[in-house]
Structure 1
Amino acid sequence: MFNEDDVIQVYRSLLSNLGYTPRFTQEDAIKRVTQALNDYDDVILESPTGSGKSVIAMVFAKYISDTLEGNSFLLTPRKELQDQYSESFSDNVFVFKGAANYPCHLGISSGIPDADCGPTAQCAKGGFGGRNYGCCIGTPLAEVDFPLGPVPLNTQDLDSEKVYCNYLYNRHLALQSEILVMNFALFLSHVNYTGIFHKRSLLVLDEAHRCEEWLVSFAGVKLNEDRLKRLVPDLDIQSLSQYIEAVADDDPLGSAFMKDWLGSELLKIRKIAEIMEKTGGRPSDIHYLLSDVIPGLSLMNSSLDHTKWVGDRVEIISKGFKNKIVSYNFSPVFVDKFAKYMLLNKAPKRLFMSATILDSRAFSKSLGIEEHAFVRIASEFPAENRPFIISNTIGSLAYPKRTDEKMAKVTKEICDIVEHHSDCKGIIHTQSYKATNIISNALKENSTTRDRVITHLSGARRLNMFKEYTEREDNPVFITPSFTEGVDLKFDLARFQIMVFVPYASISDKRVKVRIGLGGWPWYNWLTALSIMQTYGRIVRDVEDTGVTYALDERFTDFISRHNSLFPDWFTEAVEYYE
């Protein structure tokens, strides 16, 4: 199916058009993946930061379209990565996003301010209640004759006869595209529930180490107590607490109870949704039942016999609201039984790419993949440019040992490191807002570091403060519990970083706790190694780049030693110890 010479020709032609020259390591990786795709349906590529995974993805997608006359899905977890593909390969890919990313013409054509493009849009573009409109003046989608050019955004350019829905027009183009870039959540929604997108020849998944996480999130269901009681007054939602307690107590009768509950209550929800569709209920409520509640509960109902689910009752008191918001949240412990029909069968060939697969057997098992090829690429970055220095001066920072005296030692060491790197930017990974606050206060009390501190004590301020960090030129230090993935701190954006604690997943998380109880310690250790490697990869993003990672928790030494097989050689060769 894949001819190596032809694939390499596509690679060299693509690089020539981009103004790049071929790289031996990249070309070797492409040859190995080519052979693997001929032998296996599932190929897992572990390729370090800076090795050009996006180019590799594009080579095989272009080969599929140019040589085999097929088409491809290219999935990323984040919109930012979609934009990177669009900027780098604008002539080859089409990027499709969710409705909220497209300006709505309704406001322009009718004078309605801030027209919403979503389930509550007045054009009812979502098709609720049979109103499947393709444009703002109400032309049914089946009769829409889409123009060839881009949809006009200016009032003077609008055709008074046909004002096309920007979102639907882009979806129309996405359906015709040969290489379609989408984020994972949007892809799962469309290929599983709307029936709009169909199978393609190749499925490429970037940052694939998060596949299980994406599937858990997609399969999970959140039930808003007040909203459901308003829409379905006789719904017995409070009884869900019994199932949550049964799972916590490892009571085998919990699943039987949940199946009985779903058998009666899911029927009530479906009947209400049907009535609302026929009588013209509020679109946002219909969307909530049809797109969020019913699919999630239906999946749970069909899988309880072979998959364990965990639940939680969450109470949130929001500012400005007198009453608390109560939500019942459920998620599957495993997704291997879902992955085949939700993800894997959307293309006959699948290429999973990440800098941090680490254990291909654990990865493939989590997705129910029976046979696969694993291709691991070594880093081209010199080890001396990216040292991982473990400090053994503080000792273990396991939670019970985080005394005030121990944390004083931690903050003293951090102040020393920040002072040592007075001429460059850096980032400190804390894992919790409590630790963030302690470390921030310590640095602010130090006369030589106080003016360099940038931090956030809530998720709402996270992106704004990070933007300030990137724009400031006085060598600030960014202190955060939540930037271990998805940020590219190359060159002067960060010359050092500090990992305060070993990033173990919290065993207070019910899903993690249940998974461990079912023999999941190897999985838990794999998750920890993934987090270490992802954090390590935030800095030193180019072969000419340099940066130092400091690990303060003595447990890093023990973890890396005991689980050495999880880490690639190019990482362990960079590990150093500081007494």
Structure 2
Amino acid sequence: MQKDILNEIEENLKSGYKKIVLCAPTGVGKSLVGATISRYFDSSFTITASKHLQDQYIKDIPFLKPVKGKQNFPCLKLMSSEKVENTRRAMRWGLTCDKGVCQERVSKNGKEVVEVCKFKPTIKQVEENSADSQSCSYYLQKYEALVAKHSLWNYHAFFQIMKFNKKLFADYLDRKVSVFDEAHKIEDQIIQFVGFDIFAGQVDECNLNSEKYDFSDLDSMIKLTDDIAYSYANKIKNIKESPAFQNNPDYELISKLERRYDKAAQAKIDILSDKDNFVVNDPIRDLNGNFRTISVKPIDISKFAKTFFDTEYQIFMSATIAKQSFCENMGLEKDDVAFVDTPKSPFPIDHRTIDLLNIKRLSYGSTEEDEIEVIKTIDRILDEHSNVRGLILTSSIPRCQKIIRYLSPKNTRRIRICHSKNKDGKTQDEVISEHATDPTGVLLSSSLWEGVDLKDDLSRFQIIAKVPYPNYKEKRTKAKMDKFPTWYTSQTLTKLLQGFGRSIRSNDDWAKTYVLDTAVNNVFFKAQQMIPKAYYDVLGMDNL
């Protein structure tokens, strides 16, 4: 199957295509396909979203030089100041690079100068193999990746360089091809770099009164963003001019305030460059109605996407990607993009059965009786799978809580709610580790639709209680639907298909999937032209 995929990609390249979308299911070996394409050219970037997949690349494809985040490395400067010599102990104590200061302003001979951490090498030293072996491990691996012909990045680190540091690293960014794995996540990654999230803590820190602003009006939010930037600029000026700073300068505080100023100022520039393309989502408030946070985000990300697609050739890979919607969203000319759609899954069909039970249609207008009927069905399925582990996916935290409330006591005891953030402070990984020790445990989540591998006995059944539509009450979602009619359906289908794959991760693995929400039929009907061919057999679409 890999050979067929590579042959088709090569044919497209020889036909003159420089952008290729590859839709291939789990088990095909997309990472090896991507690595082969990287080798086909003399230089490459490979970019992926999840730490799990990055680790898989590192294990299987050693010629890709990886870049990992600062939190994965001990800070030698902090270790020195805390007199810690053992790097493992430093990691346990949280003395990591993300908490260290790589450069700071210090006072020398009455003058303010920028002092770079003595452990930080230069990229030239790494390029010339003259860096001290005791140099900062984070920068060593980052610069080794930049000077290497083939490197491996996560989206955030790669986009950070492409948006903010292109000029700084211009000599090291001239690659032939970029291979974007998990390409269906690109919009979510780009949107982190555009627009602005405003938090109550920021407003308080800047001594601003949130009641003076209209949270439904873009101009008012631009004014708030400008006021935040002005407040930080003022704080920086006042601190620098204070006697306390003259006697004992706190350059770490200044650096922190400058970063906050830069973010607010850049957000204002981005928004004013195309006001009609930005929308203000409704503010999030606490139980007492007090403001907590609000976001100003772009509707169309295509003008920003081009900043990140800088190489001559680009390969976009995912198990769940529709060419038309993807091209429209990224601002790519459909006729300039080749599409390779793998015709079948490598996994046996009886290992990945999907049962559309059509219990009730769950929507914003569904009744309490409808909800309870679905939960009763969940209860029955849990009884049928009483001796194995499983997974329940739904659309929101309140729906998770409702499921818990109406399940039978014996099945409630099997449940572990698992989100990216959990009430008891446990991480998602910690909850899943606990799940692995419980032979009949069941994870219940609104966030595990992707990015987690519940292989083998970690899950032998999965229940899709509610179709995961984007929240149409969000103003950005409404605006996006108006501008890109297929976007809403495409987003729903992508998330749904990602959910189908959580429990079947290899050829020998197996799990049964139950879908309870009748709305799934409407999704499949509207998305007929978007469904990857690898799902045709299991969805009974072979005759299409």
Q: 1:495–1:546: 8 Å Cα contact kept in structure 2?
A: yes
Q: 1:208 to 1:132 in 2, by over 3 A?
A: farther
Match among 402, 408, 414 for residue 452 of structure 1: 414
Query: Do structure 1's residue 174 and structure 2's residue 145 form an aligned pair?
Result: yes
**Could you tell me how far 1:456 is from its partner in structure 2?**
3.9
Aligned length: 509
Q: What pairs with 1:382-461 in structure 2 (closer than 5 Å)?
A: 382-392=348-358, 394-403=359-368, 405-446=369-410, 449-456=411-418, 459-460=421-422, 461=426
Cα pair distance change 1:28/1:97, threshold 3 Å: same
Q: Does 1:499 align with 2:474?
A: no
Q: Partner of 1:479: helix, strand, or coil?
A: strand
Task: Give structure 2 stretches of 5+ with no counterpart.
Answer: 85-92, 107-111, 242-248
Q: Which amino acid is the alignment partner of residue 72 of structure 1? A: S
Kept in 1: contact 2:24–2:30 (CA 8 A): yes
The structure 2 residue matched to 1:307, chosen from 277, 301, 321, is 277
Partner of 1:575: helix, strand, or coil? Answer: coil
CA separation of 1:413 and 1:130: change in aligned 2, threshold 3 A: farther
CA gap 1:576/1:427 in 2 versus in 1, 3 angstroms? farther
CA separation in 2, counterparts of 1:569 and 1:475?
34
Quote how far apart the aligned CAs of 1:289 are: 2.3
Query: Letter of the aligned partner of 1:366 in structure 2?
Result: N
Contact residue 125 and residue 131 of structure 1 kept, 8 A: yes
Kindly tell me: are residues 372 and 185 of structure 1, through their superposed partners in 2, closer, same or farther at Cα, counting changes over 3 Å? Answer: same
Q: What residue number does 1:466 align with?
A: 432
Q: CA deviation at 1:173?
A: 1.5
Contact between 1:95 and 1:180, CA under 8 Å: does it hold in 2? yes
The corresponding residue for 1:361 is 324
CA spacing shift, 1:218–1:130, aligned 2, 3 Å = farther
- The answer to whether structure 1 residue 42 and structure 2 residue 12 are counterparts is no
Is the Cα–Cα contact under 8 Å of residues 507 and 513 in structure 1 kept in the other structure? Answer: yes
**Aligned-residue identity in percent:** 25
1:133 aligns with 2:116: yes
Q: 1:174 to 1:126 in 2, by over 3 A?
A: farther
Q: Deviations over 1:42-78 (max 9, x none)?
A: 11000011110000011111222xxx3xx21111112
The alpha carbon displacement at 1:264 in A equals 8.4
Q: Structure 1 residues 303, 237: closer, same or farther in 2, change over 3 A?
A: farther
Indicate yes or no: 2:198 matched with 1:223.
yes
3-state SS of 2:340 partner? strand
What one-letter code is carried by the residue in structure 2 that aligns with 1:387?
T
Q: Which moved more, 1:27-36 or 1:308-317?
A: 308-317
Deviation at 1:263, TM superposition (A): 7.7
Letter in 1 for 2:114: R
- Equivalent residue runs for 1:92-131 within 5 Å: 92-111=63-82, 117=96, 121-124=100-103, 131=114
402 and 177 in structure 1: CA distance in 2 versus 1, 3 angstrom threshold: farther
Counterpart mapping for 1:163-562 below 5 A: 164-195=135-166, 196-197=168-169, 198-224=173-199, 226-227=201-202, 230=205, 241-242=213-214, 244-246=215-217, 254=218, 280=251, 282-289=253-260, 292-304=263-275, 307-315=277-285, 326-341=292-307, 343-345=308-310, 347-357=311-321, 359-370=322-333, 371-378=336-343, 379-392=345-358, 394-403=359-368, 405-446=369-410, 449-456=411-418, 459-460=421-422, 461=426, 462-472=428-438, 474-516=439-481, 518-562=482-526
CA separation of 1:487 and 1:282: change in aligned 2, threshold 3 A: same
Mean CA deviation greater in 435-444 or 551-560: 435-444
1:463-500 deviations in Å (ceiling 9; x for gaps): 3211211243x232211121000112222222210000
**1:408 to partner: Cα distance:** 2.9
CA contact (8 A) 1:133 1:140 kept: no
Q: 1:445 Cα deviation (Å)?
A: 1.2
Amino acid at match of 1:105: L
Q: What letter is aligned with 2:326?
A: F
Instruction: Give the letter for the 1:81 counterpart.
Output: L
What is the one-letter code of the residue matched to 1:401?
S
Q: Deviations over 1:411-432 (max 9, x none)?
A: 2211221222233221111222
Q: Is the 8 A contact 2:127 2:147 kept in 1?
A: no
Aligned-CA RMSD value: 3.5
Q: Deviations over 1:197-226 (max 9, x none)?
A: 424221111100111121112213223455
Asked whether the 8 Å contact 1:75–1:183 carries over to 2, the reply is yes
Q: What do residues 432-469 of structure 1 show as CA deviations (whole Å, max 9, x unaligned)?
A: 222222323444513xx455332247823333211211
Q: TM-score, normalised by structure 2?
A: 0.83
Deviation at 1:351, TM superposition (A): 0.4
Q: Does 2:11 correspond to 1:28?
A: no
Distance in 2 between the 1:444 and 1:458 partners?
26
Counterpart code for 2:461: F
Cα contact 2:70–2:97 (8 A) shared by 1? yes
User: How far, CA to CA, are the matches of 1:142 and 1:259 in structure 2?
Assistant: 38
CA distance in structure 1 between the aligned counterparts of 2:537 and 2:121, rounded to whole angstroms = 62
- Does the C-alpha gap of structure 1 residues 265 and 428 become closer, same or farther in structure 2, counting only changes over 3 Å? closer
Please say if residues 67 and 142 of structure 2, whose CA atoms lie closer than 8 Å, have aligned partners that are also in contact: yes
| Runs (5+) with no aligned partner, structure 1 | 1-24, 153-162, 247-253
Distance 1:167 1:324, change over 3 A: farther
How far the C-alpha of 1:171 sits from its partner, in A, is 2.2
Paired with 1:142 and 1:132, the residues of 2 have a C-alpha distance of: 17
Q: Compared with structure 1, are the counterparts of its residues 87 and 457 closer, same or farther at alpha carbon in structure 2 (3 Å cutoff)?
A: closer
Q: Kindly tell me: are residues 543 and 573 of structure 1, through their superposed partners in 2, closer, same or farther at Cα, counting changes over 3 Å? A: same
Using a 3 Å threshold, how does the CA distance of structure 1 residues 108 and 265 change in structure 2: closer, same or farther?
closer
| Deviation of the 1:531 alpha carbon | 1.3
- Counterpart Cα distance in 2 of 1:190 and 1:276: 30
> Does the CA-based 8 Å contact 1:311-1:329 persist in structure 2?
yes
Question: Are positions 1:86 and 2:58 aligned together?
Answer: yes
In the alignment, which residue of structure 2 is the partner of 1:57?
34
**1:241-265, Cα deviation, whole Å (9 max, x unpaired):** 43x423xxxxxxx56x777887887
Structure 2 CA distance for partners of 1:442 and 1:326, relative to 1, 3 Å: closer
For residues 37 and 28 of structure 2, what CA distance do their matches in structure 1 show?
Answer: 16
TM-score (norm 1): 0.78
**1-structure distance, mates of 2:116, 2:347:** 53
